[in-house]
Amino acid sequence: MTTTMPAGEQHATRGRALQGERTRAAILRVAVDLASIEGLEGLTIGRLSTELAMSKSGLFAHFGSKEELQLATIEAARAIFIEEVVQPALEASERGLPRIWELCERWTEYAQRGVFKGGCFFAAASSEFDGRPGPVRDRIAGIMLEWLAALERGVREAQDSGHLDPKADAKQVAFEFNALVMAGNWAFQLYGDLKAFTRAREAIRDRLRSIATTGAPPMAALGISRRKSSSEKIARASAGE
């Protein structure tokens, strides 16, 4: 019980000075999943150390306080979110209508694929901490603002590219798209209903159509191309679960 992971074994060849970083990363990888299920407050040090088969104090030493652990977990989740949603969306699409669509599409995939075990980390965290002032809440709010700004920018760029009606309120559209994808995640988590994502996509497509110009790329092409390249990822994720 004292040592399930013998100390001398796993860093025989690697330099000792790097072990800390690696352990920290390993902790945070588990922490983000745990927090997405149990919440950032339900993410306890005892539970986390049990999950990782290490001592409470050993784990604790990496962060110094629970709040620091929470903040580190948030940063780790943000990195994963960017890597899984924002970056691929930007790389896979050109500016304009394709990009704003791609952002929403990648988001629903990210939620559907279960990148975090308990659904979108930030949807959960922002609901949990909205009433608790402090640095944790501030950071979460800041990151959600980044996401909303990314959506808004996507809309604005599509307007500049002549794909969307320039008279449309970009902030308003971003609000609506975020509402729809978050609701997809919400319904999926609560009811396990995959159709929720289809509903979100459908609503977003309709809304885009309602403000698309005649010069915009045809709507139908967007969804179809995306579906194909994503099917393998979904299969991979559901196999791992």
Partner DNA sequence: GTCTTTGTAGCACGAACGTTCGTATTGCAC
Partner DNA sequence: GTGCAATACGAACGTTCGTGCTACAAAGAC
Contacting positions for a copy of itself (CB under 8 A): 36-39, 41-42, 117-119, 123-124, 126-128, 130-132, 140-141, 144-145, 171-172, 175-176, 178-180, 182-184, 186-187, 189-191, 196, 199-200, 202-203, 210
Distance between CA 82 and CA 145 in Å, rounded? Answer: 14
Residue whose pair of structure tokens reads 């449309």 in the numeric block? 168
CA distances from 103 to 79, 90, 219 (A): 16, 8, 15
CA distances from 77 to 51, 80, 156, 217, 228 (A): 18, 5, 27, 34, 27
Q: Between 15 and 240, name the residue whose CB sits nearer to DNA.
A: 15
Looking at 8-92, list the stretches that DSSP marks H as alpha helix, in order from N- to C-terminal side: 19-38, 45-51, 56-60, 66-81, 87-92
19 binds, among DNA, a copy of itself, none (CB under 5 to 8 A by kind): DNA
46 near DNA (CB under 7 A): yes
45 near DNA (CB under 7 A): yes
Distance between CA 200 and CA 68 in Å, rounded? Answer: 35
27 sits in the region (left: phi over 0; alpha: psi -120 to 50; else beta) called: alpha
15 near DNA (CB under 7 A): yes
Q: Between 79 and 145, name the residue whose CB sits nearer to a copy of itself.
A: 145
Stretch that binds DNA, among 65-73, 83-91, 124-132, 201-209 (CB under 7 A): 65-73
Give residues with Cβ within 8 angstroms of 162, minimum separation 6: 96, 213, 215, 216
Stretch that binds DNA, among 12-20, 86-94, 138-146, 233-241 (CB under 7 A): 12-20
Instruction: Write down the least CB distance from residue 136 to DNA, Å.
Output: 12
Task: Report the residue from 29, 62, 95, 233 that binds DNA according to the rule CB under 7 A.
Answer: 62
Instruction: Write down the least CB distance from residue 13 to DNA, Å.
Output: 8
Instruction: Write down the least CB distance from residue 23 to a copy of itself, Å.
Output: 26
Instruction: Write down the least CB distance from residue 55 to DNA, Å.
Output: 3
11 near DNA (CB under 7 A): yes
Task: Report the residue from 56, 95, 137, 139 that binds DNA according to the rule CB under 7 A.
Answer: 56
DSSP 82: I
123 binds, among a copy of itself, DNA, none (CB under 5 to 8 A by kind): a copy of itself
Task: Report the residue from 19, 210, 231, 238 that binds DNA according to the rule CB under 7 A.
Answer: 19
Instruction: Write down the least CB distance from residue 81 to DNA, Å.
Output: 23
What are the φ and ψ backbone dihedral angles of 164, each rounded to 5 degrees? -120, 150
Give residues with Cβ within 8 angstroms of 232, minimum separation 6: none
